[in-house]
Amino acid sequence: MGLYPNLKRAFVMLWLLLLTGCWSSNEIEDLSVYVGIALDKGEVTAEEQQLREQGSAEKNIDKVTATLQIISSKSSSSSDQSTKTDQKPFINTAGTGDSVFEIFREFASRRDQPVIGHHMKIVVISGGLARANRLDDMLDFFYRDNDIRPSCFVVVSRGEARKTLETKVPGGIPAFRLVGMLDNRNRTLEVIPSVSLSKLQGYLQSGTSFILQNVLSAQGEIKFSGAAVIKGETKKLIGYLSEEELKGLVWLTGSGKGGLVKAYDHNDSGRSMAYEMKSMKSTIKSRADGKKLSFDVNIESEGRLIELWNHASIFNRPATKELEAIFEQKVRRLIDQAIKKMQQQYRVDVAGFGSHVRIEHPRLWQSVKKDWDSVFSQSLIHYKVKLKITEFGSLID
Amino acid sequence: MDENDYITPAQVAVVIINAMLGAGILTLPRTTVNAAHTPDVWLSIMVGGFVIILFGMVLVRLGLRYRGQTFYQYVSRITGRWIGAFLSLVVIVYFMLVASFEVRALSEVTGLYLLEGTPSWAIIMPFLWVGGYLIRGGVSALARLCEVILPITGIIFFLTMFLSFGIFDIHNMRPVLGLGMTPVLKGIEPALLSFIGFETIIVLQAFMKKPEKAAKSVIAGILIPTAFYVTTVVMVIGALTVDGVVTKTWPTMDLIRSFELSGLIFERFESFLLVIWIMQIYSTFTITCYASALGIAQLTGRNLKSVITVLLPVIYILSMAPHSLKDLNKLGDMLGLTALCLFGLLPLLLLILSKWKAGKKDGTVS
Q: What is the mean pLDDT of residues B339-354?
A: 89
Write out pLDDT tens, residues B188-239.
988 998 898 899 999 999 999 888 899 999 999 999 999 999 999 999 999 9
- Give the pLDDT score at A153: 94
Residue A99 exposed, middle or buried by CB count within 10 Å (0-12, 13-18, 19+):
middle
Q: What is the CATH number of the domain that holds B200?
A: 1.20.1740.10
Q: Checking phi first, is residue A372 left (phi over 0); if not, alpha (psi -120 to 50) or beta?
A: alpha
Q: Which residue of A has its CA nearest to B237?
A: A202
Who has greater pLDDT, A24 or B266? B266
Who has greater pLDDT, B264 or B138? B138
**Closest by Cα among A48, A46, A77, A47 to A60:** A48
Domain that holds residue B300: 9-347
**Phi (first) and psi of residue A239, to 5 degrees:** 165, -170
SS3 B11: helix
Q: Mind telling me how many Å the CA of B356 is from chain A's nearest CA?
A: 51
Domain A243-397, architecture per CATH? 2-Layer Sandwich (3.30)
- Give the pLDDT score at A340: 92
Residue B8 exposed, middle or buried by CB count within 10 Å (0-12, 13-18, 19+):
middle
Residue A292 exposed, middle or buried by CB count within 10 Å (0-12, 13-18, 19+):
exposed
Best of A199, A253, A367 to substitute, by most chain B Cβ atoms within 10 angstroms, is A199
Residue B126 within any structural domain of the chain = yes
Q: Which residues from B are below 8 Å from A359, CB to CB? A: 171, 174-175, 178
Q: Which residues from B are below 8 Å from A143, CB to CB? A: 247
Residue ranges of domains in chain A: 26-75+84-241, 243-397
> Does the structure show a pLDDT above 90 at A299?
yes
Distance CA A314, CA A395 (A): 8
- Give the pLDDT score at A20: 67
- Give the pLDDT score at B365: 43
CB contact under 8 A, A149 and B258: yes
CB contact under 8 A, B116 and A358: no
CB contact under 8 A, B243 and A206: yes
Q: A17-51 burial, b for 16+ CB within 10 Å, e for fewer?
A: eeeeeeeeeeeeeebbbbbbbbbbbbebeeebeeb
CB contact under 8 A, B167 and A198: yes
Q: Which residue of A has its CA nearest to B112?
A: A146
CA atoms in the 13 A half-sphere facing the CB of A89: 12
Residue B194 within any structural domain of the chain = yes
> Does the structure show a pLDDT above 70 at A57?
no
The mean of the pLDDT values for chain A is: 85
Q: What is the mean pLDDT of residues B256-283?
A: 87
How many C-beta neighbours within 10 Å does residue A235 have?
19
A302 touches chain B (CB under 8 A): no
Residue B99 within any structural domain of the chain = yes
Q: Which residue of B has its CA nearest to A148?
A: B257
- Give the pLDDT score at A83: 47
Looking at the 3D structure of chain B, how many domains does it have? 1
Q: Which residue of B has its CA nearest to A197?
A: B258
Residue B362 within any structural domain of the chain = no
> Does the structure show a pLDDT above 80 at B81?
yes
Task: Show Cβ contacts of residue A25 under 8 Å, excluding neighbours closer than 6 positions.
Answer: none
Distance CA A195, CA A174 (A): 18
Interface confidence, given as ipTM, is: 0.82
Residue B1 within any structural domain of the chain = no
> Does the structure show a pLDDT above 50 at A350?
yes
Q: Give the lowest-confidence range in A22-26, A129-133, B77-81.
A: A22-26
Distance CA A130, CA A235 (A): 9
Residue B188 within any structural domain of the chain = yes
A87 touches chain B (CB under 8 A): no
- Give the pLDDT score at A230: 94
Q: What is the mean pLDDT of residues A132-138?
A: 91
Q: Checking phi first, is residue A393 left (phi over 0); if not, alpha (psi -120 to 50) or beta?
A: left
The mean of the pLDDT values for chain B is: 89
Which residues of A, range 185-224, sit inside 8 Å of B by Cβ? 196-199, 201-202, 205-206
- Give the pLDDT score at A75: 47
Q: Which residues from A are below 8 Å from B166, CB to CB? A: none
CB contact under 8 A, B240 and A206: no
- Give the pLDDT score at B311: 93
> Does the structure show a pLDDT above 60 at B11?
yes
